[in-house]
Chain A
Amino acid sequence: MNVRSEVVTQFKQVAQEQGKRLAPLTDDLELLNSGLDSLCLAILVNRLEDALGVDPFTASEDALFPVTFGDFVSFYEHAAA
């Protein structure tokens, strides 16, 4: 499964459900400027756990939190590898 495309799909899905306007998902976009608020990001993380079977936020205790969209995708790619 392509992790990046799943992440993009879920970003769009959550934004649509929550009525948020999503910024273009470039790798240097800061997550906190993506248009998703903290509740939306939390929902996204649960949805990705269902879709990809991983939750890197819980699994990787020593990793730093992702700041940009690119960090976020890599975070999931490493966890799903």
Chain B
Amino acid sequence: MQQPSPSSLSHALNTAGNLADRFVSGAEAKIALSNFVKGSALDGRGHELCGRSVLIATIDQLMAVAALIELDGVARRIVLYPPDLSLEHLPFVARSAAVDAIVSDRATIGIETPGVTSFIHCHERIVPRVSDRNVPHQTEWILLTSGTTGTPKLVAHTLTSLAGAIEKNNLAPATLVWSTFYDIRRYGGLQIFLRAMLTGASLVLSSAQEPVGEFLARAGALGVTHISGTPSHWRRALMSASAHLMAPEYVRLSGEIADQALLDQLQAFYPQASVSHAFASTEAGVAFDVKDTMSGVPSAMIQHTPGVEMKIEDGTLRIRSDRTASCYLNHECRPLKDKDGFVDTGDVLELRGDRYHFIGRRDGVINVGGLKVHPEEIEEVINRHPHVRMSLVRTRKNPLMGALVVADVVLRTAPISIDNCTIHRDILSLCRESLSAHKVPVSINFVSALAVAETGKLIRRHA
């Protein structure tokens, strides 16, 4: 059934009510939602951002929560800068999204950003709001996702498209507490943030700096009932002695392929919980939620999911719904949807019996613990080495992170004075200097040749 669209986050929070009892907890602080809705974490300067394109680049997730609640419905556009994205991309992002104001809990961004005329500091000292809000804008939400060359793609949503999968008619009891291993500035985490905010629940945020055992203990102490993460997050949680400190009623997996062994282990570890695995992507939105504790997706679910049309074309899953993003802001990107409005997820599905199983990505993208890795970005770094003729980055299956990255490298004829060990070490140093840790190949194999297709492109295999 079509749900009424929330006009703004603040309005939806007020509608869900019970704000004094509901909270958002970060590793450092726990703040009642009433403070966020009535107060300002921006020194009461939120109204200065009315109608502007605002980039939110906070270190602390709680501050991102405060800024989102304060600015949705006020700003024309908000851009969520993920904490793990290097600030070197900030000028490109700001230019692509016509950003004219930045909100941050940093003292300064320290990077030249032409066009930005306001910098507003965001902090935990909440002051009263200057004026009542009247929701002048249907704010556009811009999420960043990784692109082929390392430059992020800017994906445009609205609160309506982001909240399309959330049933808002059934308000949760005040005792319902959501949590997520994801950061809320990524699509998977943002879904959980909105779910908690729009349905009357509280929220416990994780933190990249907090050891997983401490996060699990905090989640348990704050009474987390519903929690989501990638299969890799969950495997790591099950390796912690603190996993038993929480007793969730609902355990959700997304962002990676959920294998049967993990689903069984989670169900055995949390026997009282419903364990489900969901499919969503930043571009395609939330598509389905598989609740029968079996890996793969029932073919009936692909054919009939209310509100979401799905089809398999040329082997990949295509999705059309009102939850998909509207477009990319980058000029260089291909259109986000085809002429019929379907988003190609790029995920290759194979029918086995009556269930579809994900077997990899058509474009060779490697999923390391829920983080997308484009092989081309890593190959470009390896190929900078003067003795490298060409390279192919591919996946190696891994039971903890789903996949790791390995590289096959063809060398030019090296001078006899340089041995392969030195080249191996130098390639790794080059990668470590230029790439995030999960993109650095875990092994480098020197090979005599790589398969090249008639098009002149390297042949990449699925998964």
Residues of A whose CB lies within 8 Å of any CB of B are 18, 30-33, 38-39, 41-43, 45-46, 55, 57-58, 61-62, 64-68
Q: B264 and A38: CB pair below 8 A? A: no
Contacts of A55 in B (CB 8 A): 399
In the A-B complex, the 9 residue pairs with the smallest Cβ-Cβ separation, listed nearest first, are: A57-B399, A42-B401, A65-B238, A42-B400, A61-B261, A58-B399, A65-B239, A38-B236, A43-B442
State how many angstroms separate the Cβ of A53 from the closest Cβ of chain B.
15
B400 touches A32 (CB 8 A): no
The answer to whether B398 and A42 touch across the interface, beta carbons within 8 angstroms, is yes
Cα–Cα distance between A75 and B396 once the two chains are bound (Å): 22
Q: Which of B232, B239, B261, B368 contacts A66 (CB 8 A)?
A: B239
* Segment 62-114 of B: residues with Cβ below 8 Å from A: none
The reply to whether B442 and A61 contact each other, CB–CB distance below 8 Å, is: no
Bound Cα distance from A45 to B238, whole angstroms: 16
Given A30-B241, A67-B241: A39 in contact with B265 (beta carbons within 8 A): no
In chain B, positions 396-438 with a C-beta closer than 8 Å to chain A are: 396, 398-401, 404, 437-438
Q: Are A30 and B240 in contact (CB under 8 A)?
A: yes
* A44 closest partner in B (C-beta): B400
B369 within 8 A of A: yes
B188-242 interface (Cβ within 8 A of A): 211-213, 232, 235-236, 238-241
Q: Which residue of A lies closest to B233 (CB)?
A: A38
Contacts of B241 in A (CB 8 A): 30, 67-68
A64–B265 CB distance below 8 A: yes
- C-alpha gap A64/B241 in the complex (Å): 12
Q: Nearest CB to that of A57 among chain B residues?
A: B399
Residues of B within 8 A of A61 (CB): 260-261, 264
* Residues of A contacting B398 in the complex (Cβ-Cβ under 8 angstroms): 42, 45-46
**With A61-B260, A64-B269: A32-B239 Cβ-Cβ less than 8 Å:** yes
- List B contacts of A42 (CB < 8 A): 369, 398, 400-401, 404
For the complex, give the distance between the alpha carbons of A38 and B213 in Å.
13
Chain B minimum-CB-distance residue to A14: B442
**Closest residue on chain B to residue A55 by CB atoms:** B399
Nearest CB of A to B243, in Å: 8
The listed residue (B232, B240, B437) touching A67 by CB distance below 8 A is B240
B238 close to A46 (CB less than 8 A): no
Q: Who on chain A is nearest to B396 by CB?
A: A46
Distance of A10 from chain B, by nearest CB (Å)? 12
Interface residues of A, dominant DSSP: helix
User: Is B442 a contact of A46 with CB atoms below 8 Å?
Assistant: yes
11 contacts between A and B (CB under 8 A): A30-B240, A31-B239, A32-B240, A33-B211, A39-B401, A39-B438, A45-B400, A46-B398, A58-B399, A65-B239, A65-B265
CA distance A39 to B235 in the complex (A): 12
Contact A64 B238 (CB under 8 A): yes
Among the interface residues B213, B240, B398, which one has the most CB atoms of the partner chain A within 10 A?
B398
Interface centre among A32, A39, A64 (most CB of B within 10 A): A39
Out of A30, A43, A67, which one reaches B404, CB within 8 Å? A43
- Give the residue among A38, A57, A68 with the most B Cβ atoms within 10 A: A38
Chain A neighbourhood of B396, CB < 8 A = 46
Q: Is A39 within 8 A of B369, CB to CB?
A: yes
Q: Which of B213, B240, B265, B399 contacts A45 (CB 8 A)?
A: B399
Closest to B261 in A: A61
Instruction: Tell me, rounded to whole Å, the shortest Cβ–Cβ distance linking B237 to chain A.
Output: 9
Across the interface, B236 reaches (CB within 8 A) one of A18, A32, A58, namely A32
A42 to B368, CA, bound (A): 10
On whether the beta carbons of B369 and A30 are closer than 8 Å, the reply is no
**B269: A residues at CB distance < 8 A:** 64
Asked whether A57 lies within 8 Å of B400 as measured between CB atoms, the reply is yes
Residues of A within 8 A of B212 (CB): 32
B295 to chain A, nearest CB (A): 11
